[in-house]
A and B are shown apart, each in its own frame.
Chain A
Amino acid sequence: MNGEGNSGPVFADPITADILLSVNGDERPITVDTRETLLDTLREHLDLIGAKKGCDHGQCGACTVLVDGRRVKSCLTLTVTVDDREITTVEGLAADGALHPMQAAFVERDAFQCGYCTPGQLCSAVAMVREVADGWPSAVTADVSGPAVLDDDEIRERMSGNLCRCGAYVNIVAAIKQVGS
């Protein structure tokens, strides 16, 4: 479909797929365009607007969600590839009504301003604390043989995939440290 020559573009109907999406514990049967990203499916079809679109290119982290507990950029994930996975968005971090400790710490520490990067920061932070607990090293881990420690340098390094243009980093680090330690 590159519209070469004088023939104009080729007009094929979009290819769709019927899948069962598991989001925040709910099973949702859905027909998706195979070109559709998980981010667009969540936002445009399921009205789960917590995951944000900041760049659509994997560069800002605003769209971060958890897939089988691991952080994933949903703008770089085609929905058809996650039909057998457990997806958690910021809306599903805590049980009804309550706040997840990370959410509560973000409010307490004022770890956001406009709030647009915040759902991505939260999903990323929750998964990141788990990665540290599981002993995964990062680029700044001095000793990769021992258990990883959640200090400021580790948090900053591991959270650098989530941009915050409001500049709430200092408070984000404080909030994560409060929860993680």
Chain B
Amino acid sequence: MTTVAAPYAGTALDRVDGPEKVTGRARYAYENLPADLAYAVVVQATVSRGEVRAVDADSVLQLPGMIAAIWHENAPRLAPVEDAELTVLQSPRVAYRGQVVAIVVAETLESATEAARLLRVDYRAEPHDVELRADHPGMYRPDHVNPNYATDSELGDPDTALAFASVVVDATYTTPAQHHNPIEPHATVALWDADGLTLYDATQSASGVRATIAPLFALPPESVRVISPYVGGGFGGKGAPHAQVVLAALAAKQVGRPVKLAATRRQMFAVTGYRTPTVQRVRLGADEDGRLSAIVHEAFEQTATIKEFAEQTTVVTRMMYAAPHRRTSHRLVRLDVPIPTWMRAPGETPGMFALESAMDELAVACGIDPVELRVRNEPTIDPERGLPFSSRNLVACLREGAERFGWAGRDPEPGVRRRGRQLIGTGVASSTYPVYRLPSQASARAEPGGGFTVRIAAADIGTGARTVLTQIAADALRVPPAQVRMEVGDSALPRASVAGGSSGTASWGTAVLRACEALMAALHRRSGDVPPGGLEASADTAEELRSQRPLSRHAYGAQFAEVGVDLDTGEVRVLRLLGAFAAGRIINPKTARSQFIGGMTMGLSMALLEESVMDLEFGDYLNRDLAQYHVAACADVRDVDAFWIEEEDPELNPMGSKGIGEIGIVGTAAAIANAVYHATGIRVRDLPIRLDRLIGGGI
């Protein structure tokens, strides 16, 4: 495979949808106003486990403007499907506090909101179990971990290697539950007509929602259309449909009118997914020079009783560093908690916090510079799969990042640098993310009046997909980007894979490129003549993807942090954060930089602020809004920057690109925690790095 020489790919084109977004013309899901619209609001369970005994629907139906109150006894029946998250209002069982037990529909949002508040639901409550502990007796070994990795792995004899290692790090790290909190809440407008069901939905996958929702209503997929041209952030939370999509469709069916439904910010903490909390034990065995002989990484996580999601927290450890003896494992416990799901770099994000913190501890224990330690343990082939890397430039990222950051001459002594009332420290961590590519289809059309239309049911959730696909198409069609009209975000377009796994550009870009090439060939056969009806060609990449040869394909990076820790309050400020990345060819430097620093900003937020606190008494997350679940604000984010090194990798896809949407968050929290250690001498192994963990640690 050769990569295509390209004049537009590689240029910093402004976002093609920028003007729509800055003028307020971009229409997001909830902003569709079909005629005769009704408003729905959900009612959530106030017990964590038990049964709904009765719902006093009749009382609220007397409220002015009320149309319906729907619960399990009067809800339309859904076809049984395996995913219990989606079979809403079909049974009296309550599996977690906050689960939807009823939905009210009214003429106005105000009336529906009031009715939802007044609706009386009687429960038979049962004792709940919501606390994740590594020694929970219910811990089990899942069949596989997300998306389809082996649950455990073992090579050599790690126990013996640890017993004989000169230096051993054995530490337990924890990460709390985290909620995606895209600024656009999950929302759906559902509309039934003679053709079937139309859903204006906030989703990362129009094709995926169609395929998932159709069987629930016993419809062929062609009878469901999902429209989502603009999506206000997803971060994995909008990757698969959640209850609100089904609820909107079900309510619209029941009342015979279009229905609008959005999860409120507070409801989102129970019904739209989150990242599981983790308890992780990492053991590293090394010789005095820091060369690893053993790596053991074990993760303990939670899932819901009605659906399993097994985050692949330790999978990243299988390929990061060389060591002859190694073991990774995942154990889960089913609790009476909301359903966890994908959240930006599931697996790598919590896993690399633990592994990269442990590597820093090893560097300290061996008295070796942490950049040097990582370089020393660089593998020549994928250590567990035994495959060559398609390209691996971690060392270049570490070296070049260290150079630009000014790492040289760093005094490793912790707790000795003061600036005013702050202790100053620096830290480093590696980043990585796998290269995924999924089958997709696309079409390209030469319009009779000039210009081209390229169609694919891709999703631009803020990644810049619409823009980079325009660039890819423009190159293939040999025209300026202004002559390409890119249509995405509609299941009526050629079927595309989910905006997930940082796979969008690779998956959709391949399909777009192949469709454009097919169109160019067809035009060539006609000597460039476009018939009056236009000329169209399409492509499906399934075959091309099957022929990809087995290699270990990943993007890499290194993140460097400088922190200041207030001596009096323990407040941590990230003074500088620099990311160095190696991610194949960068198709748009402007949107790519935004992706990298956006991920790093979320990583900073995770390191210092984000924590969903489980209320053991009531059995749900306690801090259910943005005043209590803190995400980084403008004043928290100072000098954050990213750059990338040139990387040619012909074994990826025709663009030569690796995904960049998630790698930015991987390793950030470890780099910051390592910098906090360097500043204060206190090793924080439990995120977030709260003031009390430093004050309590004796700052």
A164 — which chain B residues lie within 8 A by C-beta?
Answer: 183, 634
With A and B bound together, what is the CA distance between A174 and B45 in angstroms? Answer: 45
> CB within 8 Å of A: which of B604-630?
605, 625-627
A110: contacting residue among B27, B232, B590, CB under 8 A: B590
Asked if B215 is an interface residue, CB under 8 A from chain A, the answer is: no
B183 — which chain A residues lie within 8 A by C-beta?
Answer: 52, 54, 60, 62, 114, 116-117, 163-166
Asked if A146 is an interface residue, CB under 8 A from chain B, the answer is: no
A55-B265, A167-B599 known; A44-B233 Cβ under 8 A: no
Residue of A nearest to B661 (CB): A113
With A and B bound together, what is the CA distance between A32 and B591 in angstroms? Answer: 42
B634: contacting residue among A36, A47, A89, A172, CB under 8 A: A172
> CB within 8 Å of A: which of B13-32?
14-15, 17-28, 30-31
Whether A9 pairs with B63 at a CB distance below 8 angstroms is: yes
Whether B598 pairs with A167 at a CB distance below 8 angstroms is: yes
Residue of A nearest to B180 (CB): A165
> CB within 8 Å of B: which of A1-55?
1, 3, 8-9, 11-14, 33, 35-36, 40, 43-44, 47-55
Chain A contact residues: over half helix, strand or loop, or mixed?
Answer: loop
B110: contacting residue among A14, A108, A170, CB under 8 A: A14
With A and B bound together, what is the CA distance between A66 and B204 in angstroms? Answer: 32
A116 — which chain B residues lie within 8 A by C-beta?
Answer: 28, 182-184, 232-233, 462
With A and B bound together, what is the CA distance between A168 and B590 in angstroms? Answer: 12
> Shortest beta-carbon distance, A120 to chain B, in Å?
9
> Shortest beta-carbon distance, A4 to chain B, in Å?
11
B14 — which chain A residues lie within 8 A by C-beta?
Answer: 107-108, 110
Interface centre among B28, B114, B626 (most CB of A within 10 A): B626
Asked if B81 is an interface residue, CB under 8 A from chain A, the answer is: no
A165: contacting residue among B19, B182, B262, B464, CB under 8 A: B182
B184: contacting residue among A40, A91, A114, CB under 8 A: A114
Asked if A171 is an interface residue, CB under 8 A from chain B, the answer is: yes
Interface centre among B22, B118, B640 (most CB of A within 10 A): B22
> Shortest beta-carbon distance, B600 to chain A, in Å?
7
Asked if B136 is an interface residue, CB under 8 A from chain A, the answer is: no
Asked if A162 is an interface residue, CB under 8 A from chain B, the answer is: yes
Whether B626 pairs with A91 at a CB distance below 8 angstroms is: no
Whether A59 pairs with B634 at a CB distance below 8 angstroms is: no
Asked if B281 is an interface residue, CB under 8 A from chain A, the answer is: no
B505 — which chain A residues lie within 8 A by C-beta?
Answer: none
Chain B contact residues: over half helix, strand or loop, or mixed?
Answer: loop
B601 — which chain A residues lie within 8 A by C-beta?
Answer: 167, 169-170
B114 — which chain A residues lie within 8 A by C-beta?
Answer: 1, 35
Asked if A86 is an interface residue, CB under 8 A from chain B, the answer is: no
Asked if A103 is an interface residue, CB under 8 A from chain B, the answer is: yes
Whether A156 pairs with B233 at a CB distance below 8 angstroms is: no
Whether A49 pairs with B265 at a CB distance below 8 angstroms is: no
> Shortest beta-carbon distance, A137 to chain B, in Å?
15
How many residues of chain A are within 8 Å of chain B by beta carbon?
Answer: 66
Asked if B547 is an interface residue, CB under 8 A from chain A, the answer is: no
Whether B625 pairs with A57 at a CB distance below 8 angstroms is: yes
B626 — which chain A residues lie within 8 A by C-beta?
Answer: 54-55, 57, 59-60, 163
A9-B118, A119-B24 known; A114-B265 Cβ under 8 A: no
Bin chain B's interface residue count: 35 or more
Residue of A nearest to B182 (CB): A165
With A and B bound together, what is the CA distance between A166 and B118 in angstroms? Answer: 36
With A and B bound together, what is the CA distance between A152 and B634 in angstroms? Answer: 10
> Shortest beta-carbon distance, B694 to chain A, in Å?
23
A59-B627, A156-B638, A160-B635 known; A165-B235 Cβ under 8 A: yes
A161 — which chain B residues lie within 8 A by C-beta?
Answer: 633
Residue of B nearest to A140 (CB): B635
Whether B631 pairs with A169 at a CB distance below 8 angstroms is: no
Whether A114 pairs with B462 at a CB distance below 8 angstroms is: yes
With A and B bound together, what is the CA distance between A52 and B233 in angstroms? Answer: 13
A90-B24, A171-B594 known; A11-B110 Cβ under 8 A: no
Chain B 16-58 per-residue mask, 1 if CB under 8 angstroms from chain A, else 0:
0111111111111011010000000000000000000000100
Residue of A nearest to B187 (CB): A53
Whether B15 pairs with A33 at a CB distance below 8 angstroms is: no
With A and B bound together, what is the CA distance between A1 and B18 in angstroms? Answer: 46
B185 — which chain A residues lie within 8 A by C-beta?
Answer: 53-54
Chain A 70-93 per-residue mask, 1 if CB under 8 angstroms from chain B, else 0:
000000000000000000011100
Whether A99 pairs with B22 at a CB distance below 8 angstroms is: yes
Whether B23 pairs with A99 at a CB distance below 8 angstroms is: yes
B25 — which chain A residues lie within 8 A by C-beta?
Answer: 50, 91
> Shortest beta-carbon distance, B414 to chain A, in Å?
28
Asked if B227 is an interface residue, CB under 8 A from chain A, the answer is: no
A169 — which chain B residues lie within 8 A by C-beta?
Answer: 601, 632-634, 637, 640
Residue of A nearest to B39 (CB): A44
B24 — which chain A residues lie within 8 A by C-beta?
Answer: 48-51, 89-91, 119
With A and B bound together, what is the CA distance between A8 and B108 in angstroms? Answer: 21
Q: A159-B634, A167-B601, A168-B598 are in contact. List 9 more A-B contacts (CB 8 A).
A: A12-B64, A14-B110, A57-B627, A90-B22, A91-B23, A99-B19, A113-B233, A114-B184, A167-B605
Task: Please list the 7 inter-chain residue pairs (A to B) with the smallest Cβ-Cβ separation, ordered nearest first.
Answer: A50-B24, A116-B232, A167-B601, A114-B462, A115-B21, A113-B462, A167-B598
A-B contact pairs, 9 of them (CB 8 A): A57-B626, A91-B25, A103-B22, A116-B182, A118-B21, A156-B634, A167-B637, A169-B601, A170-B640
- Using CB atoms and an 8 Å cutoff, list the residues of chain B in contact with chain A: 14-15, 17-28, 30-31, 33, 56, 59-60, 62-65, 108-111, 114, 118, 120, 180-185, 230-235, 262, 264-265, 461-464, 590-591, 593-595, 597-602, 605, 625-627, 631-635, 637-638, 640-641
